[in-house]
Amino acid sequence: MFYGTELSSRLFLGTAQYPSPAILAEAISASGTEVITVSLRREGPGGAAFRDLIAATGCRVLPNTAGCHSAREAITTAHMAREVFGTNWIKLEVIGHADTLQPDPFALLEAARVLCAEGFEVFPYTTEDLILGEKLIEAGSRVLMPWGAPIGSGQGLRNIDGLRSMRAHFPDIPLVIDAGIGAPSQAAQAMEMGFDAVLLNTAVAKALDPAGMARAFGQAVEAGLTAHRAGLMPRRDMASASTPIFGMAALA
């Protein structure tokens, strides 16, 4: 449940870097996603046509503040996005480091406080820092989006222990792995760990067959969710025979 909205698909899909609008539309359809992210700052002269394409998908739009490097920039962009897309949902990004695209925790928290107070339903792109997560929730956010790895890196879940701790620390808060996912297996891993959704873009947009890759990610997210709900077996340090020893015939 994300701000009162129940979703059947747990895959959030980005809309940047696709070879063409037609391929983007195919990928969205193949993925089964119900939520697509859109960056207002990156729209070109054909913005109206792009918005028509997005509307035709029937998906819920999650505008984002990608490319913002200060709280003021992010707040202004969020205001514009609400006007353009008619939604209070906003994926809040405030970048603090040029090389890793790591979020600026101080500017992120400042912007979240302002936007939550103004009625926005904020999806903050954050790190796995527990204290920052608590502060964002105190500010009014009801969702957290920790990164798996730097945006566009495809490295997957770099800090497994930190992400597990975050999941355990916020058992009742929807957590979405955002950024760094490069393969369907990594998306499945995130869902197996109990995360509520996965957001990705580059791994699909830059694939040789974006629609095929989008379909694979949709299936992987579903498989990971099903596995988590079914209950994964615990890891063991020693072998454990699957065939019972007791009752076997003595052949010696």
CA–CA distance, 176 with 246 (Å, rounded to integer): 46
Phi, psi (5° rounding) for residue 248?
A: -75, 150
Is 179 within any annotated ligand binding site?
yes
pLDDT of residue 245: 66
Strands 197-200 and 121-126: what pairing? unpaired
pLDDT tens figures, 177-202: 999 999 999 999 999 999 999 999 99
pLDDT tens figures, 97-132: 888 889 999 999 999 999 999 999 999 999 999 999
pLDDT at 246 over 70: no
Say which residues have a Cβ less than 8 Å from residue 36's Cβ, sequence separation at least 6.
Answer: 12, 13, 14, 15, 28, 54, 57, 59, 60, 61, 62
Is 202 within any annotated ligand binding site?
yes
pLDDT of residue 164: 96
Task: Single out the residue of 91, 88, 166 nearest to residue 127, CA to CA.
Answer: 166
CA–CA distance, 21 with 212 (Å, rounded to integer): 16
Active site residues: 91
Is 220 within any annotated ligand binding site?
no
pTM above the 0.75 mark?
Answer: yes
